[in-house]
Chains A and B, each alone.
Chain A
Amino acid sequence: MTVNQLSIFIENKSGTLVKVLKTLKDEGIQLIASTIADTAEYGICRIICSSPAKAYEVLKAAGVAVSLCDVFAIELDDEPGRAADAIELFSREGISIAYLYSFLLGGKGVLIFRTDNAEKATKVILDNKLKYFEEKDLSKLA
C-alpha cells in the first residue's frame, strides 16, 4: 500500500539538484516520479525511483541530506474526476493530505501522497478497495 520515497533537502542554488540526480545516474537508478516543493531559500525534492534503499545509501554517502519514508501510492483509472473521487474518501474521514503528486504510468494514473493519519488512511484504502502499489510493484515497472 505504501512505497518508499526519497525526500531530499536542497538549497535554492544552481548545481544542488544536478548533484543529486547525477549521483543516482551513476548508480543506474531510474526515476519514476519526482517533485520539488520550494520556499524562498530551499526546497524538498521528493523522488520515487527504481531502488530507493540503494539510492538512499549512495546519496547519504555523497553527503546529501536525504531521508527515506513511506508514502501511499494508489492507482486510478485515467479518466477525469477520479482523483477528486479518491481524495474525497479521505476528506470525508477527516484525514488531511500533507502533500500529493500524480503521474501517468502505462495508461493508469498514480497518486502519491502523505496524510496526517496513516492508520485511518490505510483503513480508507482497504474499505473502499482502492487499488494500490507496493514497493515490489514499482521495481517491476522501472
Chain B
Amino acid sequence: MIWNETKECMSRENRRILQGERLHKIVDYAYHNVPFYRNKLQQMDIKPDDIRSIDDIVKLPFTTKQDIRDNYPFGLMAAPQSEIIRIHASSGTTGNPTIVGYTRKDIGIWSGCMARCLSAYGITRGDIFSVAYGYGLFTGGLGVHYGVEALGASVLPASTGSTEKHIRLLRDLGVTGIACTPSYALHLAETMGKLGITKDDIKLRVGVFGAEPWTENMRKEIEEKLGIKAYNLYGLSEIMGPCVSYECEEQNGSHVNEDHFFPEIISPDTLEPLPYGESGELVFTTLTKEGMPLLRYRTRDLCTLYDEPCSCGRTSVKMGRLLGRSDDMLIIRGINVFPSQVESVILSMPECAPHYLLVVDRENNLDKLTVQVEMRQEFFASGFDTFEPIIRLEKEIAAKLKSVLSISAKVEVKQPGTLARSEGKSKFVIDNRKIQ
C-alpha cells in the first residue's frame, strides 16, 4: 500500500518544482536563523533569493559532521529551544556527541515519512509491530515507534536486550512485524532455535532492518530462518533518523523520501556532483526541517542513486545498497563508532602508549569489539608484580570506552612495543565481519 500517494507518486517535474520551492524556503530560513549558515553564505556571496530551483542546490556549501561538532551543542539549531520538543544524540567523532533537535512539525514529518516506509513494507493497522531498536538517545527506537503509531498498527516497544522474553512475546501476541538490526534478527533466529521455537510457531511476516550495513546473503538467511520478507530501512539522525529511504515490494533499492530529504551523490575527492547511476558519497539537504536544517550534509555513506521507474508506482529516486564509508566510521551493533573516539580515551590514560588496535568480530551474529592497547613501560616498572593492576587498568579503560561509545568493548592490554605503528588511520582497525 502507498501511504501518501500524492507525494510518493507525484510526477518528477512536479516534485522538482516542489523541491525547488522548499529549498528556497529552507535556505532563507537557515540564513535568517542559523548564524553558521548566514556567515557561510555571505562568504560565498550567496543570497537566499539566488536559490530559485532545485538545480541551484549545487551553489550551496556542504555541511560536515565537523561543522556539527564545532557548533556543539545547539549552534546549528534554527528553532528556539521553546519550539524544540525532542532531542536525540549520536556518536560524534570525538568526545562530543552529535545533538539533533526536532520541533513538533519535525516529529510529525518524521512519523509520516516512517509511516510511508512501513506501508511500503506491507504493514497495516491490522499488524502488531515490535520495535527492537534501542530506545533512548539513538533515533532508531523512537523513530520507528512514532511511525508505527502514525500508521495505526499496534506498537510493541520491545527495545534491545532480553531476547528470550522478546521471543516469548512475539509468539504469544502473534506479532507480525519487527524492526531491528539485521544482525539482531539472526541472533533472534538462533535464540529461537535454542528455545525450540520454530518459524512456524510465530506469525512474523515482515522484518524491517537498518542501522547497519547488510548483504543480500544476510537477507536470504533472515528470510529463510524467520519465514519473513526482509526490507531495508535507511536513515541517519543528522537528517532525521530512520525514514530517509525505504524498500518497496521489489526489494531492489530504497526509495528516498525526497520531498523532505533531497539526495545527491558527489565525488568524495573533488566534491563535484555525480549523475544518477554513478557511485559516490551520499549528500542530503533537509527541505522542511525546522529544528536543525542541514544544507548538503555529507553523510560519508557511499552508494549509488537510480532514477529508473519502479514497478511499485513510486516515482522517487532509489538508493542502492551502501557500498562503504568515505571515512573510518564503523557500525557496531547498530551504533556508530569512530576510531578517534577510542583514541581520545587511550590518550587520556597515562598508563597507555598512544597506540591501539580495534578488532571487530561477529560471533553468533552479534558484533564484538575488542580494543587492544599497549601499556607504557613505566607503568609496569613501578613496583608491579601481580595481574591486579593490569586487570584494574583493563576495567578502567572498558568503563571509559563504554561511556564514550555507548557499547561494551573487551580491552586487552599488550606489552610495550607490540602494536603496529602506522601512519594511515585504517590500519588501526581490523574488521573481520563480512558485511559489505
A pairs with B: yes
**Which of B382, B386, B418 is within 8 Å of A98, CB to CB?**
B386
Residues of A within 8 A of B375 (CB): 9, 65
B196 at the interface (CB under 8 A from A): no
A-B contact count (CB 8 A): 55
Interface residues on A, range: 20 to 34
Q: Are A69 and B390 in touch, CB under 8 angstroms?
A: no
Residue total for B at the interface (Cβ-Cβ under 8 A) = 19
Q: Which residues in A have their C-beta under 8 angstroms from that of B417?
A: 63
Residues of B5-56 contacting chain A, CB below 8 A: none
Interchain CA distance A66-B381 in the complex, whole Å: 5
How far, in whole Å, are A35 and B383 apart by their CA atoms in the complex?
A: 18
Q: Does A50 contact B (CB under 8 A)?
A: no
How many Å lie between the Cα of A40 and that of B264 in the bound state?
A: 50
Question: Which of A7, A10, A16, A64 is the one whose CB lies under 8 Å from B385?
Answer: A7
> B404-421: which have CB < 8 Å to A?
412-418
B366 → A minimal CB distance (Å): 20
- Quick one: given A9-B375, A41-B412, are A60 and B386 in contact (CB under 8 Å)? no
Q: Which residues of A contact B382 (CB under 8 A)?
A: 67
CB pair A44 B387 closer than 8 Å = yes
A10 touches B415 (CB 8 A): yes
Q: A11-B418, A44-B386, A98-B386 are in contact. Are A65 and B381 (CB under 8 A)?
A: yes
Q: Is B380 an interface residue (CB 8 A)?
A: yes
Q: Is A101 an interface residue (CB 8 A)?
A: no
Shortest distance between the CB of A140 and any CB in chain B (Å): 24
B386–A65 touching, CB < 8 Å: no
- The verdict on B66 contacting chain A, using a C-beta distance below 8 Å, is no
Q: Mark A4-39, 1 if CB is under 8 A from B, else 0.
A: 010101110000100000000000000000000101
Chain A stretch 78-115: residues in CB contact (< 8 A) with chain B: 98-99, 114
Task: Tell me, in angstroms, the Cα distance from A99 to B387 when the chains sit together.
Answer: 11
Tell me the complex Cα distance, A98–B384, Å: 13
With A41-B412, A63-B416, A63-B417 already in contact, the answer to whether A9 and B380 are too (CB < 8 A) is yes
Give B413 Cβ to nearest chain A Cβ, in Å.
Answer: 7
- Complex: A23 Cα to B159 Cα, angstroms: 56
Tell me if B348 counts as interface (CB < 8 A to partner A).
no
Cβ of B377 within 8 Å of any chain A Cβ, yes or no, is yes
Q: B383's contact among A65, A69, A98, by CB below 8 Å, is which?
A: A69
Can you sample 28 A-B contacts with CB below 8 Å? A7-B380, A7-B384, A9-B384, A9-B390, A10-B415, A11-B414, A11-B415, A16-B415, A39-B387, A42-B390, A42-B415, A46-B385, A60-B377, A60-B381, A63-B377, A64-B377, A64-B416, A65-B375, A65-B377, A65-B379, A65-B380, A65-B415, A65-B416, A66-B380, A66-B381, A67-B381, A67-B385, A114-B385
The 6 A-B pairs at the shortest CB distance, nearest first, are namely A7-B385, A65-B380, A67-B384, A63-B417, A69-B385, A67-B381
10 additional A-B pairs beyond A42-B413, A65-B375, beta carbons within 8 Å, are A7-B380, A9-B375, A10-B415, A42-B414, A42-B415, A65-B416, A67-B382, A69-B383, A69-B384, A99-B386
